[in-house]
């Protein structure tokens, strides 16, 4: 599993003109990708990492300050454009495998006490954010 994590002051996800998930205070936006071979153990490990990642102001984590997270599925994190000009998505897990694992990350985060908003798996989403810093980290489990 991979996540691109951005420290944000606010972020939202819109589908068909309707906001489906938003955080309106400092927190994290996590774009989550799933690859073949990922399972519940990786989802739990990623959730723990996101919850305790010390990238907020003063090296705090979401768990330290109760900051919210916006989790958005992002299969393109496994895009490979090393050859040619057209990326391949072969490393991305198919939807029926990936969707329950992204849901598991959200469930694990909530179980840890996190306030979590989400996008809609497989939808054409518009993601809007105000990046704090800018500060972006790649997390790979």
Catalytic residue (one of 6, 14, 35, 75): 75
| Pairing status of strand 69-73 against strand 116-118 | parallel
Pick the catalytic residue from 6, 35, 74, 118.
74
User: Both tokens of residue 112?
Assistant: 């840890």
Q: Is 74 a known active-site residue?
A: yes
Question: Does the annotation count 76 as an active-site position?
Answer: yes
Among this protein's residues, is 124 annotated catalytic?
no
Proportion of the chain in helix, strand, coil states, percent, rounded to 5:
30, 40, 30
Catalytic, out of 76, 88, 124, 135: 76
Integer Cα distance of 103 and 80 in angstroms: 24
Cβ partners under 8 Å of residue 83, min gap 6: none
Positions marked active-site? 74-76
């Amino acid at each position: 599993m991979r996540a691109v994590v951005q420290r944000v002051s606010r972020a939202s996800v819109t589908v068909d003109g309707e906001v489906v998930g938003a955080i309106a205070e400092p927190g994290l936006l996590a774009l989550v990708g799933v690859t073949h071979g990922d399972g519940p153990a990786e989802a739990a490990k990623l959730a723990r990492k996101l919850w305790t990642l010390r990238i907020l102001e003063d090296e705090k984590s979401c768990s330290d300050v109760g900051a919210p997270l916006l989790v958005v599925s992002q299969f393109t994190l496994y895009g490979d454009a090393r050859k040619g000009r057209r990326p391949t998505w072969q490393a991305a897990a198919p939807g029926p495998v990936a969707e329950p694992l992204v849901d598991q990350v959200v469930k694990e985060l909530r179980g840890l006490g996190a306030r979590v908003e989400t996008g809609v798996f497989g939808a054409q989403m518009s993601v809007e954010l105000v990046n704090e810093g800018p500060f972006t980290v790649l997390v790979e489990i």
